[in-house]
Structure 1
Amino acid sequence: MGYGRDSLQKGRQGVEQRAKMAGGLVQDALPLSRQHLLAQMLTIHRGVIARKQIHQGNILHHAFAPSLGAVHGCGGSMGMTIQAIQIFPDRGRVHVAHEFADVLKLTSQSAMGMNGFGVQNGLKQRIGQVEGAQLGGLQSHQCFSQGLQGFHVAFALGFAEQFFGVHGFPEFHQCCYDTGIICKGISIVSDHSPFHYSQEYFQSLVQTALQQACQAGASAAEVEVSEGVGLGVTVRLGEVETIEYNRDKDLGVTVYFGPQRGQASTSDFSAAALRSTVDKAVAIARHTALDPFAGLADPALLAQAPWPDLGLFRPWDLSVEQGIDWARRCESAALAQDRRLNNSEGATVHTQNSHFFYGNTLGFMGGYAGSSHNLSCAVIAGKDQDMQRDYWYSTSRHPDQLESPEQVGRQAAERTLRRLEARRLSTRQVPVLFEASLASGLIGHFVGAVSGGSLYRGTSFLPDSLGQRVFDERFSLREEPHLPGGLASAPFDDEGVATHPRLVVNNGVVEGYFLGSYSARKLGMRSTANAGGSHNLIATPFGGGFEDLLRQMDRGVLVTELLGHGVNGVTGDYSRGAAGFWVEHGQIQYPVHEITIAGNLKEMFRAIQGVGTDVRVRGSKICGSILVGEMTVAGE
């Protein structure tokens, strides 16, 4: 499942895409994590706990104010519905029914929190990526404020900087809850929280849906419920272009009848909609093909509460007026750098907060909240007939760790100006230095090749690579899921499996794949806690800083922008449009454009000659610039 967790990542990608609107590709687009506010779904083996009683567990780190349990009446309503089909590569193909909510009800408190500006409040579902496989997506009027609502690739969430966890169910018999818990109203969180619903209310929904699934005869079930809220403001040429507010919610149910599985989701939290969603999941499961690899995670691998507070939730009380001010300051700082900066694609400020709660009939229950904040700017420079554009952006879970509006604006301006009077190159074979912001894309191609879906389908250019040398012997890559404040940190993956630090590549040798439970079973292995994606992959630097890598390259191309999608995940063939700078004697000489860089990823990995210390943390892949010994640069 993990729908509620990926929304933070989705928003980060939106920031990058908006900043690169001329066609640049998001390099760290996380082929790992799901980016949609639906609800994650697991599986259970028949009879695992059919005759077992599990008693009420303790609520751990329960740092919630008494007001969290209060039930408020709803005042006002607005809403829209969008339909989607879900396909989860790590769990096989599953047909999904979706129950729509006609109305999203907001309390008067919530309405007052909108600062009086016009709001279109849509209930959206999103489909993201699972274990490196790209899924289809949805488009809505909220095009840019799809914020980083954390799904797993590790953007899962915490609540009031505390985690809420339960391990154990109330009186569980015959895979069924005898809780009687079904909220008659809505449990509203405190005035200081950005959320409309409390984790306590989410837990009650999860327990009720699990009970109903088991009463319907399911041998196993899992449920995830999530909510996300965000605000985005864009200013262009000093004028407010867009103000976008989003509040999303979703509940997803997965049921298992032995090896048969069904999934359904809804954006309506009413008792009737919950029952209908469970019934639809049950009906779907009874008509699906048998899949012996379907099922919940190994119970021995599930995370045990309390899990660590990773500092993932740092909300920003950003008003519309403050957002406009930040965006104007950012764009103004950019345009003030030079007369040649004569146009702008705008500056955008975006903040997003999300939380989720997940439970399954193995006894796992837990959830947390997270936040992500972004500031971006893209400007255009012109000289004679030459026009160039470039961008810059900053992203962080903590608003105080964002670069200032002036810093982002100046950096966008400098990057744009240096591209003027770009030249073409003749075709040649030379070293290529990938700027840090693009180098993470190379790591992403590796992750996709050694992820479960690609491996068990036989569509990877690195089959049977475990224990094999794939990179230069100086290259190492580790996964750090518990990195405090990490953009891809998570105490457990989308299936509740506990995450742990590990070496993925050690001195060039592959030591681990990226597997969820389904792909692990298909491959005869164990889950690596990567259902939903990777967690903070850190490439160990070698070869010095950026200037050192330029000197080491001596003569070649520094790539600062990539265009197109010319990467074949089956063969490893790599061909991308590019722009950047020609380098001679270790010094940047002049900008270049309209070139293509080509090679094969297997050869490129082995030819990595340096990983710089110039690290910029913008997603799940953390590395500096990467120097590849030789590639084909095609030009005139």
Structure 2
Amino acid sequence: MADRLEALTGALLSAARAAGATSADAMATEGTAISADVRQGRLEQAERAEGVEIGLRVFVGHRQACVSASDQSARTIAEMAERAVAMAREAPEDDTAGLADPSQLAKGWDLAALELTDPADDPSAAALEAAARAAEAAALGVQGVTQVEAGAAFSRRSLFLAASNGFAGGYGRSSHSLSAMAITGEGLAMERDWAAESRAWGADMPSPEEIGQRAGDRAVSRAGARRPKTGAYPVLFDERISASLVGHLLSAVNGMSIVRGASWLRDALGQQVLPKGMSITEDPTRPRLTGSRPFDGEGLATGVRAIVADGVLTGWTLDLATARRLGMQSTASASRNVSSPPAPGNGNIALTQGVHSREDLLSDMGTGLLVTGFIGASINPNTGDYSRGVSGFWVEKGEITYPVNECTIAGNLRDMLLAIVPANDARTHLSHVVPSLLVAGLTLAGE
């Protein structure tokens, strides 16, 4: 497979040169995906998809254009190159557009150490259906669960990237996933919750029964949900959804947001954005994770970096173009697909964990709200004003008392993140390792 993709990128680069491009890069991907969904004891849907996609980015001076196709014939490749060069000649001049200097390129990497591809045989459609059925049965076995939807999926994908600056490299990736969504009650009293797991290696997956049981238990715990009191209360973001808070910070420090001036952290470089002692670290070298990769979408070597260190924002997330616009160096954070140019993005993220358990934080908060789910969002990217519909559980005297829904929490992200208190319950197998987070004094709109 790798040889085939390498040959396709080589053909694309040759065609680009022949069509008049001054430089170019090419990407080829090949993958297989299979899934099975069950509902009410029956197979509801089964899908299998496979194919090859190719993409070409060409430069004519500082003008660029991207084209892609799923046909790999020599005629198509030649037409792609001609069309891309014609498009680039009509594109606006951009002095930040261009490939990496050869001195910036990754020179070698250890794919085996990343363990991105499962060495076991691919699961069959029948095996995926059986796993989904097992999860469904486990959820239905929880007293009070009335309906369940469950699904299992597997994919295996390879990519190869080559450029006229001399870079050439590729890698593969596999993914196993299983999810269950359970419903309790009927009509207006209906409540739902879910459980899902995903791993690069099937051997690391929890059992379908465990996932189904968890979904059923969560759904039943939400029976009888009602609106909470209106007021200002501490809010504990459960570990299942707490990564969204860090995600808002990551969006605000993304180079595209900074270049556009559309970021509530645009003037915060070198300033305190988290409590002292807390850091956000990106590590694309962690094995068996979806965010791991040996090089970025422009061929630069990936490595560990601190986005926030001891509470202080240390830098933006940059690809080559945004780095050039800002007069900085790329952080090897380029992400891309076959049909578009690179853009900055984050992979494996970890927020410093705390020393106390989630139960300790519940006890500390006294009276407040434990948030376990979101419904919609309103985030102002310029000011950081934050408002989200949520569901979860009301807490009195440090104890969960009843489930809640149909309420909204509001605050400002800059203030919220400066005041977070982390628990110690983050799951380390995730690509975003973020524990439960306690935030004091948010406005809660309920009854």
Q: Is the TM value for this pair above 0.5? A: yes
- For 2:182, what is the secondary structure of its paired residue? strand
Question: 2:386 maps to what in 1?
Answer: 574
Task: Quote how far apart the aligned CAs of 1:316 are.
Answer: 5.0
Q: How does 1:180-329 map to 2 (within 5 A)?
A: 198-309=1-112, 310-314=114-118, 316-329=121-134
Which residue, out of 190, 196, 208, partners 1:387? Answer: 190
Task: Quote how far apart the aligned CAs of 1:360 are.
Answer: 0.4
Task: Quote how far apart the aligned CAs of 1:617 are.
Answer: 5.2
Equivalents in 2 of 1:484, 1:618: separation in Å? 10
How many positions carry a matched residue from both structures?
436
Work out whether residues 302 and 497 of structure 1, in 8 Å CA contact, stay in contact via their aligned partners in 2.
Answer: yes
The 1:298–1:548 alpha-carbon spacing in structure 2 relative to 1, beyond 3 Å, is farther
Q: C-alpha offsets along residues 536-591 of structure 1, whole Å, 9 cap, x if unaligned?
A: 11011114121122122222100000010211212111110001011122211111
2:258 maps to 1:446: no
The 1:374–1:221 alpha-carbon spacing in structure 2 relative to 1, beyond 3 Å, is same
- The one-letter amino acid paired with 1:499 is T
Equivalents in 2 of 1:238, 1:270: separation in Å? 44
Which residue, out of 124, 129, 140, partners 1:335? Answer: 140
Task: Quote how far apart the aligned CAs of 1:384 are.
Answer: 8.9
Work out whether residues 432 and 557 of structure 1, in 8 Å CA contact, stay in contact via their aligned partners in 2.
Answer: yes
Equivalents in 2 of 1:299, 1:223: separation in Å? 16
Equivalents in 1 of 2:316, 2:188: separation in Å? 50
- The one-letter amino acid paired with 2:117 is F
2:414 maps to 1:625: no
Work out whether residues 60 and 89 of structure 2, in 8 Å CA contact, stay in contact via their aligned partners in 1.
Answer: yes
Task: Quote how far apart the aligned CAs of 1:308 are.
Answer: 4.1
Question: Can you give the 5+ residue segments of structure 2 that lack an aligned partner in the other structure?
Answer: 336-344
Question: 2:339 maps to what in 1?
Answer: none
Q: Percent identity?
A: 39
Question: 1:127 maps to what in 2?
Answer: none
* Structure 1 runs, 4 residues or longer, greater than 4 Å off: none
Q: C-alpha offsets along residues 39-75 of structure 1, whole Å, 9 cap, x if unaligned?
A: xxxxxxxxxxxxxxxxxxxxxxxxxxxxxxxxxxxxx
- The one-letter amino acid paired with 2:85 is V
Q: C-alpha offsets along residues 588-632 of structure 1, whole Å, 9 cap, x if unaligned?
A: 111111110101111111111x22221235753211111112210
Question: 1:535 maps to what in 2?
Answer: 347
Equivalents in 2 of 1:316, 1:568: separation in Å? 46
Equivalents in 2 of 1:587, 1:397: separation in Å? 37
TM-score by length of 1: 0.67
- For 1:286, what is the secondary structure of its paired residue? helix
The 1:481–1:570 alpha-carbon spacing in structure 2 relative to 1, beyond 3 Å, is same
Greater strand share, 1 or 2?
A: 2
Equivalents in 1 of 2:56, 2:414: separation in Å? 40
Equivalents in 2 of 1:601, 1:453: separation in Å? 19
2:397 maps to 1:585: yes
- For 2:325, what is the secondary structure of its paired residue? helix
Equivalents in 1 of 2:211, 2:159: separation in Å? 32
Task: Quote how far apart the aligned CAs of 1:301 are.
Answer: 2.1
Equivalents in 2 of 1:617, 1:376: separation in Å? 19
Equivalents in 1 of 2:414, 2:346: separation in Å? 21
Equivalents in 2 of 1:526, 1:311: separation in Å? 29
Task: Quote how far apart the aligned CAs of 1:453 are.
Answer: 0.4
Work out whether residues 15 and 77 of structure 2, in 8 Å CA contact, stay in contact via their aligned partners in 1.
Answer: no
- The one-letter amino acid paired with 1:326 is A
Work out whether residues 477 and 504 of structure 1, in 8 Å CA contact, stay in contact via their aligned partners in 2.
Answer: yes
Equivalents in 1 of 2:109, 2:432: separation in Å? 27
Q: C-alpha offsets along residues 109-146 of structure 1, whole Å, 9 cap, x if unaligned?
A: xxxxxxxxxxxxxxxxxxxxxxxxxxxxxxxxxxxxxx
Task: Quote how far apart the aligned CAs of 1:376 are.
Answer: 0.3
Task: Quote how far apart the aligned CAs of 1:513 are.
Answer: 1.3
- The one-letter amino acid paired with 2:131 is W
Which residue, out of 597, 603, 622, partners 2:415? Answer: 603
The 1:331–1:383 alpha-carbon spacing in structure 2 relative to 1, beyond 3 Å, is same
Greater helix share, 1 or 2?
A: 2
Work out whether residues 612 and 623 of structure 1, in 8 Å CA contact, stay in contact via their aligned partners in 2.
Answer: no
2:327 maps to 1:516: no
Task: Quote how far apart the aligned CAs of 1:212 are.
Answer: 1.9
Task: Quote how far apart the aligned CAs of 1:464 are.
Answer: 2.6
2:231 maps to 1:428: yes
Question: Can you give the 5+ residue segments of structure 1 that lack an aligned partner in the other structure?
Answer: 1-197
Relative contact order higher in (CA < 8 Å, ≥ 6 apart): 1
Task: Quote how far apart the aligned CAs of 1:506 are.
Answer: 1.1
Equivalents in 2 of 1:362, 1:560: separation in Å? 48
Equivalents in 2 of 1:395, 1:551: separation in Å? 31
- For 1:297, what is the secondary structure of its paired residue? coil
2:256 maps to 1:457: no
Work out whether residues 316 and 351 of structure 1, in 8 Å CA contact, stay in contact via their aligned partners in 2.
Answer: no
- For 2:59, what is the secondary structure of its paired residue? strand
